[in-house]
Structure 1
């Protein structure tokens, strides 16, 4: 009986995934226009729910809080850390200050701060270190006036490296917090 369950579970899971994929709507063109009040509207008919949300977020990008002086810093969406550290560098403070300025000017913007580590250390230790890094960035943003409701700190530890190497250069790239806009990103054009 247990062997039957072991065979049935993968088949059932595959069927559910295939059913979910089959019910998704195909990609469609996204068309943006202007309302009489000046706000942007997006025609999302024919899009899946996720695609419609992404299209609305991109159309809802804001230039409020974006200056020529902070564009380069707003384009940077990653801050890096030294080994076993949660200290922010002076360069990273400038990047975070630009993002804080944008977030304060755009109360509808939402950001996920994802903490990452290099591969050294246990999974548990790295999850905690990734969280401390994300919280360090979150704390800085809050102290500069960003609403805590606009921020979410998440840790991935060593589970999502961007460089699969096993040397200091790879480890240096992987020790990071990513700034991921989930709603109303900066318009940098």
Structure 2
């Protein structure tokens, strides 16, 4: 696995976060950083960048050839689409739904969404942005979220592979426990507590 320089990654993230007057520049700088990090993974090579559809209705930030070796991202699509958002706030559900739709339109089952400041909502209750990630998986598209804090913990391509594996496993697990289209975990717990209370009082 190719080693990365954590101090460089940290410096770039700090610089991106400090840039407040040039949103386009922030996005391009984040894309460059993500391209460097992803190319440290075996089997990944950057095929193209900032691809816009003929009708200018969709854009792909980073487009990787993924040869899917066993020590790489063999559990994700080839080609692999990566979206980068260097926003100064959490990304909302609408953007996540748009990305999931882009994956579906391109015949992709998985993609990576880099949100520098995370996404809206609560991961445990699957609200806001997390709800859209969960429903996208139910419809066949897996969107794996990577945040700025995640990037600060990456020192090699192997670290990125481990992170995305963990995100995939956690997402599938939460998908099962959340029961999209049915009752949530919190609702079921409340229902069981009410049932026990009724049994005890009868």
TM-score of the aligned structures, taking structure 2 as reference length: 0.27
Q: Which has the higher contact order (CA 8 A, sep 6+)?
A: 1
What TM-score comes out, normalization by structure 1 length?
0.28
